[in-house]
Amino acid sequence: MQNKNIVLGVTGGIAAYKACALTSKLTQQGANVKVIMTKSAMQFVSPLTFQALSRNPVYTDTFDEKDPAKIAHIDLADWADIVLLAPATANVIGKIANGIADDMLTTTILATKAAVYIAPAMNVNMYGHPAVIKNMQQLTDYGYHFIEPGAGYLACGWIGKGRLEEPETIIEVIKSHQQTNKLLAGKKVLVSAGPTREKIDPVRFFTNRSTGKMGFALAEAAAEMGAEVTLVTGPVALDIFQNNITRIDVTTAEEMFHAMEAAFPNQDIVIKSAAVADYRPKQTYDEKLKKKDGNLQIELERTTDILKTLGEAKTDQFLVGFAAETQDPKDYGKDKLLRKNLDAIVINNVAQEGAGFGSDTNVVTYLNRSLKEHEIPLNSKKEVAKEIYQLILHDMKDESR
């Protein structure tokens, strides 16, 4: 935390008293802390307390411009290395998730490019409400980081999850995450994601159930860990919010092949997680096929095997494939690893609960070229992606020895 510029946002809950200790501990560790308080937070703790602990002015009003040469919330947003929201109420989480900027805190958070950490604190039933869950998921998709609350006796009398995590734990989580963020610094990462669509006629095509969520999680995790990322994606309903991701949209397997082939030579790590069509119609039609009596036969031809082609062409790239299977996944994954000259393969049984297409979670086995297995248990796809990168980096170090 030494010399880190930290904006601490304090919102209106009884847990605001813990933010005092948090401010003190951050300052003791060498951080420069500036506190923003909402009006509700001032009902619990005085701004003077935070001013004394941080030895910096406390911000409470968007329109209180302390320096006429600067716009306060923009200046704070640019100054920050880290923005920490603790405690975060359901109200402020909902505001940020929906782009509402109506006070000093929310305008600063929406304006910052710094890493944002959110430590919720609220009643256990509020924390489990579908609207709150949806808002937290939206912020996670935007790249915000949550520090989960603890479970125990709450001020409202309920017992359960919702208690603001202890200041020491909050600081350790941030420090650990900041260190993880540097793991891929200077690396170039190429990821493919989503399905492809193979045209039959102007209204019909062959495709598959892939939503692109795992591939996007891999791209976003690499970007958060400091890599320069290129994402080649088939047709998906997903957005990218990180600045250091170059997105290339394609539709067909052939288009994906050419995009991957063009980007491949300059990469350090290449992960092909896209579910690319193995076959396409041999003949396509410019006009819609009309329904006729009897059956319709469509002859299919093979598409280019992108992963195999990259495996044959690789020089120093660390090449990782995905094997989405429904039976004997490890056997098929091992065969694919060896046959396509991969450095590692990520195997998952898409029939397993929590690991199928469209899920926000995954359960996978990472298998490297030495046939060493590492099981990654059920977790969010973003967390699975981060663990995959740590395994890749470990294998890359072994190869360089």
How many C-beta neighbours within 10 Å does residue 156 have?
13
Helices (H) and strands (E) in the chain, counts: 13, 20
Cα angle for residues 8, 9, 14 (degrees, 5° grid): 115
CATH number of 188-400: 3.40.50.10300
pTM above 0.85, yes or no: no
Cβ–Cβ < 8 Å for 79, 57:
no
Cβ–Cβ < 8 Å for 120, 93:
yes
- E strand segments, 69-184: 82-88, 115-120, 145-146, 150-153, 159-163
Cβ–Cβ < 8 Å for 58, 23:
no
Cβ–Cβ < 8 Å for 366, 373:
yes
Whole-number pLDDT of residue 227: 94
The rounded distance, in Å, linking the Cα atoms of 132 and 361 is 19
50: enclosing H helix or E strand: helix 47-54
- SS3 state at 220: helix
Tell me which amino acid residue 261 is: E
How many C-beta neighbours within 10 Å does residue 218 have?
29
The DSSP call for residue 195 is B
Taking only the tens of pLDDT, the chain with its 401 residues reads 889 999 999 999 899 999 999 999 999 999 999 999 999 999 999 999 999 999 999 999 988 887 787 888 999 999 999 999 999 999 999 999 999 999 999 999 999 989 899 999 998 888 989 999 999 989 988 889 999 887 666 666 666 677 888 999 999 999 988 877 788 999 999 999 999 999 999 999 999 999 999 999 999 999 989 899 999 999 999 988 777 899 999 999 999 999 999 999 999 999 999 999 999 999 999 999 999 899 999 999 999 999 999 999 999 999 999 998 888 889 999 999 999 999 999 998 888 887 878 888 999 999 999 999 999 999 889 889 999 999 999 999 876 65
The rounded distance, in Å, linking the Cα atoms of 86 and 47 is 15
Closest-CA residue to 145 (of 171, 167, 116, 121): 116
The rounded distance, in Å, linking the Cα atoms of 78 and 82 is 10
Q: Is 156 a catalytic residue?
A: yes
Cβ–Cβ < 8 Å for 242, 224:
yes
Q: Which of 74, 156, 159, 313 is catalytic?
A: 156
Name the CATH superfamily for 5-180: Flavin prenyltransferase-like (3.40.50.1950)
Whole-number pLDDT of residue 155: 63
Domain boundaries, the chain: 5-180, 188-400
Per CATH, 5-180 and 188-400 having the same topology is answered yes
Residue with the two structure tokens 């610094």 = 185
The DSSP call for residue 148 is P
Residue with the two structure tokens 């796809």 = 381
Whole-number pLDDT of residue 315: 94
Cβ–Cβ < 8 Å for 6, 34:
yes
Whole-number pLDDT of residue 143: 83
Tell me which amino acid residue 343 is: D
